[in-house]
Amino acid sequence: MDYMKEYEEWMTNPFFSEETRQELLAIKDNDKEIKERFYADLEFGTAGLRGIIGAGINRMNDYVVAKATQGLANYIIHRKKQSKGVVIAFDSRRCSPEFADVAALCLAANGIKAYVFESLRPTPELSFAVRYFGCIAGINITASHNPPEYNGYKVYWEDGAQITPPHDAGIMKEVKSISVQDAKTMPKQEAIHEGLYEIVGKEVDDAYIAELKKLVIHQDCIDKYGSELKIVYTPLHGTGNVPARRILRELGFQNVYVVPEQELPDGEFPTVSYPNPEAAEAFELALKLAKERDADLVLATDPDADRLGVYVKDKEGEYHCLTGNMSGSLLADYELGQIKATRGLPEDGALIKTIVTTNLANSVAEHYGVKVIEVLTGFKFIGQQILGFEQKRSGTYLFGFEESYGCLIGTHARDKDAIVATMALCEAAAYYKSKDMTLWDAMIDMYDKYGYHVDDIKTITLKGVDGLEKIKSIMETLKNNTPKEIAGHEVLWARNYDDDTATNMKTKAVLPTGLPKSNVVYYDLADEAWLCVRPSGTEPKIKFYYGVVGTSLENAQELSAKFGEAITKMIENML
């Protein structure tokens, strides 16, 4: 693509606003910036769009959002599903309400009714709302936990999960076949008058919260200890503040302290450089408040409230960080254990996890006699499995999670839900308190019972055109040159999901991976260790996931640290 030609088109075509022209005029002497904005269209990937806000075809702006929505509308119309409508939510980021309206008015101009939330709402509520209204699709304007300069556009299908085959490819094809100037729109008041734009809010909020309450197992423990437990919570300037506090209050948790500096929505995320509950800095203010209040647990949801970060206090008063693998396994063990104890587990019950998620989950499931289903990275594939259970009328979803701090309890939503996770973790804290245990005690008990699994990740950011080439080069090197050992662990199997092969490194036998084609490599290693490498689907990053099993927690942590050092050297050599 001739990036300078595209730049000139945006500069001179009266279709684009004067504000857009002035923004682009300011970079007229910056060839690198022009290239970054115009070398290619912002890719409509398998879930939608995500990019830096700004003018240009490789940026998030009204025109790119409208084009994506027109492509979605075309796909819906071709399938003759336009009468079902589309529900739209948005988060606290810059331009989120504006992008939501651009999408809604494009749909309306195509004769498709848009149900638009009155104000910011969490991702799981959008997922819930798709099925609540019986819509054909959903749109969520969010960039999740990305830095403040980003925004995004996620598309959901009628089952409430992010789009999967064949819909992802079908929508992508429609989006690629049109230009930004092909997108339709209409005046907002006209859309409202014609019944094509409806504002929604409290009715959905109440229905969503009611579904969460149905998932409580031990209200008795909450009734007894809800007034004693102390909980510090931060929504990190995002969408979780109202629903998280509401569900905890209505269940009976009386001591919930919200970090005041991070309570209100703010798309600039002024107190953190990166609004991600996976990052230690996201907890600095929350931990300070926790120590002042002597809190039992500390919780943080990301801006669209689909991920939950956790710190728990032990009996000596020290706070421990639970990774997504740890909190997910802890909740899996609690939910499976208490379902079994209170009403029994179904014979066709299943725990679903992604391939980069801890194998501790496998041990938990095996203990309870529950089937484990592994899927590619992305919660949409867990949602796809739930839909499969419903369509086949076989299989019962019990729990699903991924290492990146996301899980789902229940099937009210089909995406990870930090609000239900917040509720369940606080319930678990009340339950374990009835046993004179902290959540940290419960975590240590799990390790003693199932094995000392420690999992971690090394993430390398490689921005721009050059970064994409480096990521591509790393993946090609790994696919074509399988190492004999990694961090002192012999490679037993090498899985290349790009060509659907799993190779036994001793016998050279080749089996299918059993999962769809994906740009991922996975190594099963000796001593129950493993390594998986994949580019991020939403950010300019390549990720190295790994796990080890030790003879004690300290031993496992030492093994993990050595493994991490070896991975760092491997990355340096490839770069």
Residue type, 481: N
The DSSP code sequence of 201-244 is -HHHHHHHHHHHHTT-S-HHHHHHHTTT--EEEE-TTSS-HHHH
| pLDDT tens column, 493-535 | 999 999 999 999 999 999 999 999 999 999 999 999 999 999 9
Phi first, then psi, for residue 532 (nearest 5°) are -130, 135
Q: Token digits for 281? A: 């800095």
pLDDT of residue 464: 80
144 is catalytic: yes
CA distances from 537 to 88, 157, 273, 521 (A): 22, 19, 21, 15
Q: Token digits for 69? A: 């929505």
pLDDT value at 561 more than 80: yes
What is the bridge-based pairing of β-strands 256-258 and 231-234?
A: parallel
Give the predicted TM-score (pTM) of the model. Answer: 0.95
Q: Token digits for 412? A: 């009210």
| pLDDT tens column, 321-330 | 999 999 999 9
What is the rounded CA–CA span in Å between residue 441 and residue 93?
Answer: 38
pLDDT of residue 468: 87
pLDDT value at 574 more than 90: no
Q: Token digits for 401? A: 């999670």
pLDDT of residue 466: 84
pLDDT value at 419 more than 90: yes
| pLDDT tens column, 360-394 | 999 999 999 999 999 999 999 999 999 999 999 99
What is the rounded CA–CA span in Å between residue 311 and residue 156?
Answer: 31
Of 304, 301, 264, nearest in space to 283 by CA? 301
Tokens 């990146």 map to which residue?
404
Mean per-residue pLDDT, 271-295: 96
The secondary element (H helix, E strand) that includes residue 412 is: none
| pLDDT tens column, 110-137 | 999 999 999 999 999 999 999 999 999 9
Q: Token digits for 320? A: 């421990």
Contact 382, 375 (CB under 8 A): yes
pLDDT value at 537 more than 80: no
Phi first, then psi, for residue 550 (nearest 5°) are -115, 180
What is the rounded CA–CA span in Å between residue 75 and residue 1?
Answer: 26
Q: 3-class DSSP state for residue 406?
A: strand
Contact 560, 569 (CB under 8 A): no
pLDDT of residue 445: 97
The DSSP code sequence of 161-180 is SBP-TTHHHHHHHHHHTS-G
pLDDT value at 415 more than 90: yes
Contact 292, 319 (CB under 8 A): no
Beta bridge partners of 116: 88, 199
pLDDT of residue 539: 73
pLDDT value at 47 more than 90: no
What is the rounded CA–CA span in Å between residue 317 and residue 296?
Answer: 9
Q: Which of 144, 327, 329, 363 is catalytic?
A: 144
Farthest CA pair distance, the chain: 71
pLDDT value at 1 more than 80: no
| pLDDT tens column, 439-487 | 999 999 999 999 999 999 999 998 887 888 899 999 999 999 999 999 9
What is the rounded CA–CA span in Å between residue 393 and residue 194?
Answer: 40
Q: Token digits for 425? A: 């973790």
User: Domains in the chain, ordered, with CATH?
Assistant: 40-207 (3.40.120.10), 225-449 (3.40.120.10), 452-574 (3.30.310.50)
A 10 A CB-CB count for 137 gives 24
Torsion, Cα of 96, 404, 47, 530 (10° steps): 160
| pLDDT tens column, 155-197 | 999 999 999 989 999 999 999 999 999 999 999 999 999 999 9
> What's the mean per-residue pLDDT of the chain?
96
pLDDT value at 538 more than 80: no
Please tell me the number of Cα atoms within 13 Å of 456 on its side-chain side.
18
